[in-house]
Amino acid sequence: MAPQQDIPVAANVLGTIGTIFWCVQTIPQIWTNWRTKKTEGLPGSMMYLWALCGVPFGAYNIVQCFNYPLQVQPQVFMALCLVNWCQILLYGSQWVLWKVVGIGLVNAVTFAGVEATLIITLQPAYNSGNSTGVFIVGIIANILLAVGLLPPYGEIWKRRGRVLGINFLFLFMDWLGAFFSLLSLAAQKDFDVTGGAMYIVCLLLESGIFLSHTIWLFRTRRLRQEAASRGKTFDDIMAEHEEQGLTFEFSERKFSRKIKKQENDMEMGATERNGGSGGQTLEHSTVTANPQDNRGRAT
């Protein structure tokens, strides 16, 4: 597709709205991370892949001369995702602050350099009519964006549909940013399929996260009401069941490797106890039998 010319006003307005949402979308998540000093349930791989996605995403939009808001959008998106990723290292992985700042800056500079290289390399070829390189970069951006939204589904599976650690205001603003950006592309004279697919993937996967938590809220409504009447939370009830060794329908799933290891440890412990008891029984039997034999010989 040829570079965009004479961008309609509607495309610029819609793109600006989408960019505003994507410029501030992760601020609620950054605030939540800072306030709670916890990032449990927020996958670091999600934020890093999203930050990495900004590299081909930005190059793709700039080379094709999209409206200016859509050219700025990936840069801000990349920077804020890197901030979230650094918070996960700081609060979740307990890295020291200076290491977190250092690795964050190194990644930011590296991403900026790679994006600039892609733009300089792809622009001449694209202007001469060869769009293969730009198309490949757009596909890579789509893949990174989609894969980045998969780790939350692992956390959702673990918690049986519950979404934990992700700020829903952040998620909703991200959804709106993708929605208005998609409308912005539709308002241009030529709709870019690859760029549009990127926003559609984002909309679908984030809608799935909303739907999953909504279903979980419906399924646990009575349990949460009962807990509230007792002055407790859902997590308190779950912890009580775990402490008492009782089966709980909504308890967190454990990964199969961890379960297998725990089962093996239990089996080994049981074997050792049985072996020890068997040895004691055998020894006791031998000691008990000897006096009878001695009496028999004496008679």
- In terms of residues, how long is the chain? 299
Q: Which of 53-62, 72-81, 103-112, 274-283 has the lowest mean pLDDT?
A: 274-283
| Amino acid in position 229 | S
Q: What pLDDT, in 10s, does the model give residues 268-281?
A: 554 444 554 444 44
Q: Provide the whole-model pTM.
A: 0.72
Cβ-Cβ contacts under 8 Å for 196 (sequence gap 6 or more) = 182, 185, 186
How large is the average pLDDT for residues 54-72?
A: 87
- Could you tell me if 139 and 60 are in contact, meaning their C-beta atoms sit under 8 angstroms apart? no
List, for residues 143-186, the tens digit of each pLDDT value.
Answer: 898 899 899 999 999 998 999 889 899 999 989 988 998 998 88
**pLDDT value at position 3?**
53
Chain CA centroid to CA 166, Å: 9
In this prediction, what percent of the chain has a pLDDT beyond 70? 83
Contacts 24+ apart (CB under 8 A), 150-155: 150/205, 151/43, 151/45, 151/46, 152/43, 152/46, 152/209, 153/208, 153/209, 154/43, 155/41, 155/43
Largest pairwise CA distance in the chain = 121
Give me the amino acid identity at 26: T
Is a pLDDT exceeding 80 seen at residue 80? yes
Burial of 274 (0-12, 13-18, 19+ CB in 10 A): exposed
Query: Residue written as tokens 């399924």?
Result: 219
